[in-house]
Amino acid sequence: MTPLTLKIDRLGDLLAKMAAAGFRIVAPVASAESDTSATAPRPRQAVRFAVVGPQDYARVDLTATPAAEGIKRFFLPQSEAVVRMRQNEGQSAQVSDISPDAPPTIIFGARPCDAAALPVLDRVFSWDSDDRSWSHRRQQTLVITIACQSSDAACFCTSIGGAPDSTAGSDALLVPQDDGTMQVRLVGERGEKLRQFFDADDAGSAAPREDATTGDSGKAGQVTVVPPRFDISGVRSWIENNFDDKLWDQAALACLGCGACTYGCPTCHCFDLVDEGTEQSSLRRRNWDSCQFRNFTEHASGHNPRPWQTQRYRQRIAHKFAYFPERFGTTLCTGCGRCVRVCPAGVSLLEIVGRIAAKGKIEEGRADG
């Protein structure tokens, strides 16, 4: 099959073609308000995903790695109205569902660690019932991912089974080449829908790459290397067997109990349902929620099964690396490292899971011996 290619100076044309075909385009753009955040010592979100129109094509910035912001909110909005309630004259009330209504969308320029979260979350959102909002947005949205050309000390996708050029969760993967073009790899049936937008690679420039490309995980092009940080094999069993270990207390001491890690996380998906409005007219909204908040588990009685931050911190790690794998057969983490980067107190999941992995290794060794 003829390989496809994208010349980066033709990006505007590509996005225009997609828009003309009826797609809403979401892409990372350099922030228009970056001058105002000059007071922030660390304007970490200078590049954000946004719905783009022709006037924004020139601002599309594919260079920011690791991505400052994920794509989760385009599938699981931070706040979404799900039910409308109205009190009529007299006694009756009118309660109506609000159907999710997402236009056909192409997310252009996601990173592999963010895209990889989508099939992981499909499992939980189609588990005991079908989450129609999630499924609808998944159906309506095609994801074009770009392989990472750089990484940092917080990146650990390769320790979780991912890769900086993984196609998991993507419908197409762009692999930057030495000559400044992008090789395009379409993934599955959904990926085929994107074929129309790309040009077949003309002879010559493609030839050397073809040799280097050996299947899906071929390392052709300028793909960064993310060194392995830990061996995940013993992590789950160590967590299952060491619920009361001192490690949890030590690890959680610095944790401030905010939700920055969970909200930045591509796989954290907990939500809360709240009713907002008046007695006459209100909306039920589904909002992101975080297991790190004290009131996350607080009962109406006032009892709280997780009153301490240690327990809340352990819950987050154990859910990702033990409970979720037990139920769904996969880790609830893609190794994006965003939780490490955003933590105000410098708490590092990477470091803590690394410690657990080392302990797990020792216990495994004992069991084998």
Partner 1 sequence: MNHSSAEQLQQVAASALAVGSVKLVIGHAAGAAGDRAAACFVDSDDNVGRLTIASPGVATNLAVYATRPEISHLSPIAVVADPPTLRALVGLLQEGQVEADRLRVIALWPQTAEVSQSPSDSADDDAGAWKVSGSVQTMEQVLASHEWVAHGQWTAAAQADDLVERLLKMSDAERWQFWSAEFARCSRCYACRASCPLCYCRRCVAEKNQPQWIDTSATPRGNFAWNVIRAFHLAGRCIDCGACERACPQGLPLGALNEFLRRTVAEKFDYRAGLEVDSTPPLADFRTDDPEEFIR
Which tokens sit at 205?
């420039």
Query: With b meaning 16 or more CB within 10 Å and e meaning fewer, what string describes 224-256?
Result: bebeebbebebbbebbeebeeeebbeebbeebe
Output the smallest distance, CB 72 to partner 1, in A: 11
- Kindly tell me which of 229 and 236 has the beta carbon lying closer to partner 1: 229
For residues 335 and 155, the answer to whether their CB atoms sit within 8 Å is yes
- Kindly tell me which of 178 and 272 has the beta carbon lying closer to partner 1: 272
DSSP 304-336: -S--SHHHHHHHHHHIIIIIHHHHHSS-S----
DSSP 111-150: -HHHHTHHHHHHHHHTSSS--HHHHHHHHHEEEEEE--S-
- Kindly tell me which of 18 and 340 has the beta carbon lying closer to partner 1: 340
* Footprint of partner 1 (CB under 8 A): 33, 36-46, 48, 78-79, 152-154, 249-250, 252-254, 256-260, 262-264, 272, 274, 276, 285, 287-288, 290, 293, 295, 308-310, 337, 340-348, 350-351
For 204, counting Cβ atoms within 10 Å of its Cβ (0-12 exposed, 13-18 middle, 19+ buried), the class is: exposed
- Kindly tell me which of 155 and 175 has the beta carbon lying closer to partner 1: 155
- Kindly tell me which of 3 and 257 has the beta carbon lying closer to partner 1: 257
Non-local (6+) Cβ contacts of 319 within 8 A are: 291, 332
- Kindly tell me which of 105 and 290 has the beta carbon lying closer to partner 1: 290
Output the smallest distance, CB 295 to partner 1, in A: 5
- To the nearest 10 degrees (0 to 180), the angle between helices 309-318 and 349-368 is 70
Number of Cβ within 10 Å of residue 329's Cβ equals 8
Output the smallest distance, CB 279 to partner 1, in A: 12
- Kindly tell me which of 2 and 281 has the beta carbon lying closer to partner 1: 281
Output the smallest distance, CB 274 to partner 1, in A: 6
For residues 35 and 11, the answer to whether their CB atoms sit within 8 Å is no
Output the smallest distance, CB 178 to partner 1, in A: 28
The Cα 105–Cα 19 span in angstroms is: 9
Output the smallest distance, CB 213 to partner 1, in A: 32
For residues 45 and 64, the answer to whether their CB atoms sit within 8 Å is no
For residues 56 and 81, the answer to whether their CB atoms sit within 8 Å is no
The Cα 315–Cα 349 span in angstroms is: 13
Output the smallest distance, CB 271 to partner 1, in A: 11
The Cα 238–Cα 233 span in angstroms is: 10
- Kindly tell me which of 236 and 285 has the beta carbon lying closer to partner 1: 285
Output the smallest distance, CB 230 to partner 1, in A: 12
